[in-house]
Amino acid sequence: MAKRDYYEVLGIDRDATEKDIKRAYRHLARRHHPDVNGTDPDAERKFKEIAEAYEVLSDNEKRHQYDAFGHTKSGMGFDGFGAFDDLFGMVFGDFGARSQTRATTERGSDLICDISIELEDAYRGVEKNINLKKALKCEECNGTGAEPGTSPIECLLCNGSGVIRTTQRTFFGNLVKTHTCNRCGGRGKIISSVCKVCDGEGRIKKDCSISIKIPAGATSGLRFKINGQGEAGFRGGPFGDLFVDVYVQPHSIFEVRGNDLMCDFAISFSQAALGATIDIFTFDGDEKLKIPPGTQGGTIFNLRGKGLPCLNSRRRGDQLIRILVATPTKLSAAQKELFKRLDEIGEENLGIKKRLSD
């Protein structure tokens, strides 16, 4: 098949500038790229033709030769796209030959640990030590993984890039593919003699104790992060993070309701009727609470600001005191006598509503 004129292929004049050529190529390559235009069986041939024309006309020397001799000049024809992947990248951005670069080190894993604290610790905040086994930087090789006195050398296979590029001839040009270098595992460096302590990992598992500050106001289910307290990275890579899940143990007196602390307090029948001043346990010591006369069972009193602190704010919850009126179960003869007297005086006078059934 006779070759079409390159200028004709790109639809430009013979005196087109470099810019014109580039613009025309981009426009046409987008339109005729087989990946974009899969339905057109002719797309591949057209695309190849466009790319070929561009390869010649965008190169000043080749363009001069072409202008002078046309297609007849030997060696002038399409001999693969030398800069195919550059063209590809130019037209399709990252979509084309994408190079994969990998870090020479790897970040260590994150760790998660549970920590159980008492409610009072949640109230005040606490510092706790936890013991765990985790990878730490190898002291012997200072995390490099190389035997002390030696240092990692550049991988000759990939020239330290960690990436191997292979050129594949396809019907529409040379495709450059990249893959991770097998020899160095993409790290670009090779350790000729590995550290015997860590086996070239640059890290070793060790038992360690970590001090953890638990903020006041921590509640069950809270997860917080301690930066850099996870495992050491491969060959000196950065440490992972440590996540701490908090569990607050149940308390003998308090029930946690959000930031409020609820407790029950039983008073006697007489205290409920006559009123009283009672001593209430709080985490900051006993507090006096005045119970007014005629207090009903189930009444809730509030000690402001005696609850749990709110995380990230200065607010605090309250301590709630739910009053229970204890009904006496064992009465002495004298007590029985008094209750009988009370009953005789009449419940109406006590201000208690009579039940409907009476």
Report the interface residues with Zn ion, using CB under 5 A. 138, 140-141, 155, 157-158, 181, 183-184, 195, 197-198
Rounded to a whole number of angstroms, the minimum distance from the CB of residue 236 to Zn ion is 10
- Cα-Cα-Cα-Cα torsion 239, 245, 246, 249, nearest 10 degrees, comes to -130
Nearer to Zn ion, 148 or 294 (CB): 148
Rounded to a whole number of angstroms, the minimum distance from the CB of residue 168 to Zn ion is 20
Contact 269, 295 (CB under 8 A): no
Burial 133-160 (b: 16+ CB within 10 A, else e): ebbbbbebbebbbbbeeeebeebeebeb
**Which residues face 299 on adjacent strands?**
none
Nearer to Zn ion, 141 or 244 (CB): 141
Rounded to a whole number of angstroms, the minimum distance from the CB of residue 148 to Zn ion is 8
CA-nearest of 295, 307, 293 to 266 is 295
If one counts every other C-beta atom within 10 angstroms of the C-beta of residue 7, the result is: 19
Nearer to Zn ion, 160 or 297 (CB): 160
Nearer to Zn ion, 198 or 308 (CB): 198
Rounded to a whole number of angstroms, the minimum distance from the CB of residue 98 to Zn ion is 18
- What would the two tokens of residue 72 be? 């007849």
Q: What distances in angstroms separate CA 123 from CA 249, 261, 262, 284, one per listed residue? A: 12, 10, 14, 10
Nearer to Zn ion, 111 or 181 (CB): 181
Rounded to a whole number of angstroms, the minimum distance from the CB of residue 147 to Zn ion is 8
Nearer to Zn ion, 12 or 155 (CB): 155
Q: Is 237 left (phi over 0), alpha (psi -120 to 50) or beta?
A: beta
For residues 74 and 72, give the distance between their C-alpha atoms in angstroms, rounded to a whole number. 6
Nearer to Zn ion, 155 or 291 (CB): 155
Among all chains, which residue has been given the structure tokens 């609820």? 262
CA-nearest of 203, 190, 207 to 142 is 203
Please give the single-letter amino acid code of residue 194.
V
Residue 31 CB contacts under 8 Å (≥ 6 apart), including other chains: 37
Nearer to Zn ion, 32 or 203 (CB): 203
Rounded to a whole number of angstroms, the minimum distance from the CB of residue 182 to Zn ion is 8
For residues 149 and 315, give the distance between their C-alpha atoms in angstroms, rounded to a whole number. 58
Rounded to a whole number of angstroms, the minimum distance from the CB of residue 311 to Zn ion is 41
Rounded to a whole number of angstroms, the minimum distance from the CB of residue 64 to Zn ion is 40
